[in-house]
Amino acid sequence: MRKVIQVLVLLFLVVSCKTATPTIITSKKEAEKKGVYTYTEKTRSKTVTSSDKNAKTAEVKKSDKKKRKVIDNDVPESDIIVSSENESYMAEQLTNSALDYLGVRYRGGGTTREGMDCSGLVTAVFNSFDMQLPRSSNDMAKVGERLDFKDIKRGDLVFFKTNGKRIINHVGLVVEVVEDEIKFIHSSTSSGVIISSTKEPYYERSFVQANRVVN
């Protein structure tokens, strides 16, 4: 009887060990096949496949290429401003340079911001663009093309005989032409570098000629 009980106990232990052995799952795919693991279609839709990634990458590259094309075709704005189609770029720059000296005091023989005379102003302006002119206004009047009054433009030089002088002794640079009025920048003995007009009686009487030094 005792042996029978021992045999029954042994059989019970063997059966218990077999049912307690766990099932080994190596992947979610395998677990799904065995009914141990499941996931919904919504979860599946969030799964990004390699083909989806490739498509998205291609789309980004295409977008970047399009952006680069726009940048490559972009044309920068010009920084050259000319007030009239009939005026040369250099004439415009000479005029702008001269206007930068407005207010500088008069000094005989001077060519700097410390002081300058009429020909000194013109000399300083042209020198800043590496163009050499004679130092005196009388000699400057011999350079370039002499103009008729109606042909005078911005950037040209105008010459005068002031104070009853028999030779040219004053020069200015044209900054504006309004019909038959010429406005010019020059250095006067009384006020330094200023803008005057040929409509002023003093300069209307003393005007002699105008020359174009640059085209």
- Sign, CA dihedral 86-196-127-103, equals negative
> Could you give the residue numbers annotated as active site?
118, 170, 186
Tokens of 68: 């680069």
Phi and psi torsions of 51, nearest 5°: -65, -35
- Evaluate whether 163 touches 151 at the Cβ level (below 8 Å): no
d(CA 184, CA 99): 10
Phi and psi torsions of 74, nearest 5°: -70, 130
d(CA 215, CA 213): 7
